[in-house]
Amino acid sequence: MAEGRVGVNGIELYYETIGNGDPLLLIEGLGYATWMWYRQRDCFGSRYRTVLFDNRCTGRSDKPDRSFTIADMASDAAGLIEVLETGSVHVLGVSMGGFIAQELALNHPRLVRTLALCCTSFGGSKAAPITPQALESMTSVADLSPEEVIRRGLSAAFSQEYFASHPTEVERIVAWRLASASPRRAWQRQFQSVLSFCSEDRLEKIAVPTLVMAGDHDLVVPVQNAYALAQRITGSELAIFPGGGHLFFIEQAERFNDTVLDFLDRQG
């Protein structure tokens, strides 16, 4: 494994690379850092040169206290690809990372070979909104400790069954998030960028092989969004994970990893 920090767009991003082969870029979601890929990194790294990084305002990357957009974060990812000299990459984005992945494919098409969009949407007013339960878990946190905020968010991000039956794993993730905690203002900057994102009227321009995945018990990005995305992206494939919550790529990691690798292998 190699790791470091590189300067792009006036900030520094933390990154890691694992393995050899064709490059695969993993883009995480709102408030999450590279640790979130603990069920994917070794599996993908055994077949691909897997690149993980912390988005701006997360983990070990810089946390500028100024407004930015999803397109800005896609530009960060493009800058990282250029600095690492990987050539064009396969891209996997989850949740907010799926927004960034879409912008990367739309604004920097020469850098993207394939697109895998997980638990995400096209944003805007026509997307199926976050459920009230999940929204409250993210925003009604004024009187809670950082640990309570994280645990409350995970209770909505995991399916109810998984959250109840895997307390040890939940506590491990809570510990990871506390260890790499960002200021609340940094989370809010990312959240603001999410709220302003919409790609619906541009999706027909995505011209690379695309896989859309979702759990059908997702409270954060309801599964209807996956159907809507797949319908609008020409030739895309759709995989639904029964019983999966927003973090179904952790809950059902073996099937998720196999689905992604099968898709990538079929693209040559």
Q: In what order do the strands lie in the sheet with 11-18?
A: 2-8, 11-18, 49-53, 23-27, 89-94, 112-118, 210-215, 237-241
Spatial distance between the Cα atoms of 173 and 154, rounded to a whole number of angstroms: 9
What CATH number corresponds to the domain at position 28? Answer: 3.40.50.1820
Structure token pair of residue 103: 């912008």
Instruction: Indicate the length of the chain as a whole number.
Output: 268
Neighbours of 150 (CB within 10 A): 21
Spatial distance between the Cα atoms of 73 and 87, rounded to a whole number of angstroms: 19
pLDDT-wise least confident of 75-79, 120-124, 134-138? 134-138
Q: In the chain, how many domains are there?
A: 1
CB 225 within 8 A of CB 127: yes
With a CB cutoff of 8 Å and minimum separation 6, the contacts of 204 are 232, 233, 234
Mean pLDDT of 112-132: 96
- Reported as a single tens digit per residue, the pLDDT across 35-71 is 999 999 999 999 999 999 999 999 999 999 999 999 9
- So what's the pLDDT on residue 238? 98
β-strand partners of 2: 17
pLDDT at 241 over 80: yes
CB 233 within 8 A of CB 98: no
- Reported as a single tens digit per residue, the pLDDT across 118-127 is 999 999 999 9
- So what's the pLDDT on residue 225? 98
- So what's the pLDDT on residue 66? 94
- Reported as a single tens digit per residue, the pLDDT across 152-180 is 899 999 999 999 999 999 999 999 888 88
Mean pLDDT of 141-158: 88
Instruction: Find the domain containing 31 and state its range.
Output: 2-266
- So what's the pLDDT on residue 139? 79
pTM: 0.96
With a CB cutoff of 8 Å and minimum separation 6, the contacts of 49 are 17, 18, 19, 20, 21, 22, 23, 24, 86
